[in-house]
Structure 1
Amino acid sequence: MGSSHLVIYVISDSIGETAEQVAKATVSQFNIEDYEVRRFPYINEKQQVFEILDEAKNEHAVIVFTIVVPELRKVLIEEAKILNIPCADVMTPILHAMESVLKIPAKEEPGLIRKLDERYFRKVEAIEFAVKYDDGKDARGIKQADIVLTGISRTSKTPLSMYLAHKNLKVANVPLVPEVLPPRELYEIPPKKIIGLTTNPMKLIEIRQERLKALGLKNEANYASMQRILEELDYAEGIMKKLGCPVIDVSSKAVEESAGIILEIFKDMGHKFSNGK
């Protein structure tokens, strides 16, 4: 290639990160240091292509691009050929290979991978939120949450919070215990943001006894007594009535089923959720 300064023009109808990574990986095979990468993101007009190529024609340049819109791609390839500028299409060969196997056309829509990345990071953020504001650890999360779950111990608050977090929803959960006043923040948010969780006392005593067994404790503990469970359920029912929030019984439902009911309740109230898609 000689000692001339190499300029790699990275052109993309999105941010151009994919093309730049490919360009850098390729140039690393040539043991040269005298090069630079110039990235041109969000190119969506022919005039922009002409202007970039007009600059590139005067340099020791190669073009690496990811453009999925056929018309714009065609202009770039044809104009680069006229100007005798080497041009590498990163995306199209892979698109064609996949189309031939899948038997469906590509969407030809710029920036889809970035949108997927954004959804992924929103999901991670929602999961971190659910962990941070689990079990009433920090009442400040109540006002920041999309959904607040409340109920007594072992009513699936944590697994429901995590399941809904995977739908990109920020969920806080607040335990209701007769000896502890609920946080004031619970009364300062709209009731339509809150879901009360209740369960069958017989089912709950069974769950709590299993929990005690797992912890190596005796079943006689007050935590798993019927009297204590009925007291907690009555207390929670009173709080939920005061809040005026919807209440669902989770005793005979899988987490997925309860989450589906919660999402339907919120949709009926006019909330619009991405549902993780």
Structure 2
Amino acid sequence: MSSKRVFHLHLVSDATGETLNMVARAACAQYEDARPIEHVYALVRGPKQLERVLGEIENAPGLVMFTMVNEELRARLEKRCAELQTPCISVLDPAMKALGQYLGKESSHKPGLQHIMDAEYFDRIAALNYTMSHDDGQSAGDLNEADIVLLGVSRTSKTPTCIYLANRGIKAANIPIVPGAALPPDLETAERPLIVGLTTSPDRLVQIRKNRLLSLHENTDTDYVAPDVVAEEITFARRLFAKNGWPVIDVTRRSIEETAAAVLNLYNERQRERMS
């Protein structure tokens, strides 16, 4: 088996670097035989900061990816990288160019605009507060305030999916499905939220639960990870979802991001139907 090719990846941003990190990691994920050593430089907004970054690039040459709106700093970065014969890529250029051509105007050239504390920002904070206080069946008396309610047996990624959705401004509650335990009464009367069931394969769930118990140094000789009991839990949940007509998403082979995207697709489709 051949070892992975290791290379230096310099990520330079005049904002938080969140956008750049996501783009870089999405791209690198397509090259399984390569492993980047990431050098992340956020909030690079002045000449002195940039010179320090250039020094790091010179000491560890590699691919440079950046998001930077200041033309002087950008020109300095590109010029020095050219001198070092180091590839230098502005990851937002294609999107910005297409938008500018379509809208017939130039961008504002202000860094970090997606992170300003506007109404949308405070909506995300409110969504996160709601989601954290409605995790795992807590505060189930006001579920009608939720945008989305996720249901599923233990360890079907309900909590992380809800947190991801909250960061998108979605108020998301989650409720565990336990055979023999009643669901919150408010769930039956809630008309506002989209209710979605999460399921997975029994084998995968047993593996996840065992890993969880091992990480907590707890005994794995329990019904919680018994294959027949786990299969019964999943069957019970599936029947419950079908009985109530709730859409179901299988998370067996999905990342948290992919599960959240599938939930958002259902939510957006429902919103369009309500508006039509």
- TM-superposition CA deviations, 1:110-155 (whole Å, max 9, x none): xx89974222111111111111000001112421100000010000
Cα drift, residue 182 of structure 1: 0.7
Counterpart AA for 2:265? E
> Which position in structure 1 is the counterpart of 2:138?
137
Cα drift, residue 173 of structure 1: 0.3
Check the 8 A contact 1:99/1:106 in 2, yes or no: no
Aligned residue pair count: 174
Check the 8 A contact 2:178/2:233 in 1, yes or no: yes
Structure 2 counterparts to residues 1-277 of structure 1, below 5 A: 98=70, 105=106, 107=108, 116-190=117-191, 193-271=194-272
Structure possessing the higher radius of gyration over alpha carbons: 1
- TM-superposition CA deviations, 1:223-273 (whole Å, max 9, x none): 11112111211211122112211100001100000111111111222359x
The secondary structure found in structure 2 opposite 1:223 is helix
Mapped to 1, the partners of 2:134 and 2:186 lie a distance apart of 13
> Which position in structure 1 is the counterpart of 2:43?
none
- TM-superposition CA deviations, 1:9-53 (whole Å, max 9, x none): xxxxxxxxxxxxxxxxxxxxxxxxxxxxxxxxxxxxxxxxxxxxx
Mapped to 2, the partners of 1:176 and 1:222 lie a distance apart of 16
Cα drift, residue 220 of structure 1: 1.3
Mapped to 2, the partners of 1:208 and 1:114 lie a distance apart of 37
Mapped to 2, the partners of 1:229 and 1:113 lie a distance apart of 43
- TM-superposition CA deviations, 1:173-228 (whole Å, max 9, x none): 01010131111111112497101000000000000111111122222111111121
The secondary structure found in structure 2 opposite 1:173 is strand
- TM-superposition CA deviations, 1:57-116 (whole Å, max 9, x none): xxxxxxxxxxxxxxxxxxxxxxxxxxxxxxxxxxxxxxxx957767984549xxx89974
Check the 8 A contact 2:146/2:171 in 1, yes or no: yes
Give unpaired runs (5+ residues) of structure 1: 1-96, 273-277
| RMSD of equivalent CA atoms | 2.8
Give unpaired runs (5+ residues) of structure 2: 1-68, 76-99, 101-105
Check the 8 A contact 1:135/1:174 in 2, yes or no: yes
Check the 8 A contact 2:196/2:248 in 1, yes or no: yes
Counterpart AA for 2:132? V
Check the 8 A contact 2:149/2:193 in 1, yes or no: no
TM-score when scaled to structure 2? 0.57
- Residues 238, 190 of structure 1: alpha-carbon distance in 2 compared, 3 angstrom cutoff: farther
Mapped to 1, the partners of 2:142 and 2:72 lie a distance apart of 49
The secondary structure found in structure 2 opposite 1:129 is helix
Check the 8 A contact 1:150/1:175 in 2, yes or no: yes
> Which position in structure 2 is the counterpart of 1:24?
none
State the identity %: 35
Mapped to 2, the partners of 1:154 and 1:176 lie a distance apart of 11
- TM-superposition CA deviations, 1:152-176 (whole Å, max 9, x none): 0000000000000000000000101
The secondary structure found in structure 2 opposite 1:218 is coil
Counterpart AA for 1:229? V
> Which position in structure 2 is the counterpart of 1:27?
none
- Residues 201, 222 of structure 1: alpha-carbon distance in 2 compared, 3 angstrom cutoff: same
> Which position in structure 2 is the counterpart of 1:11?
none
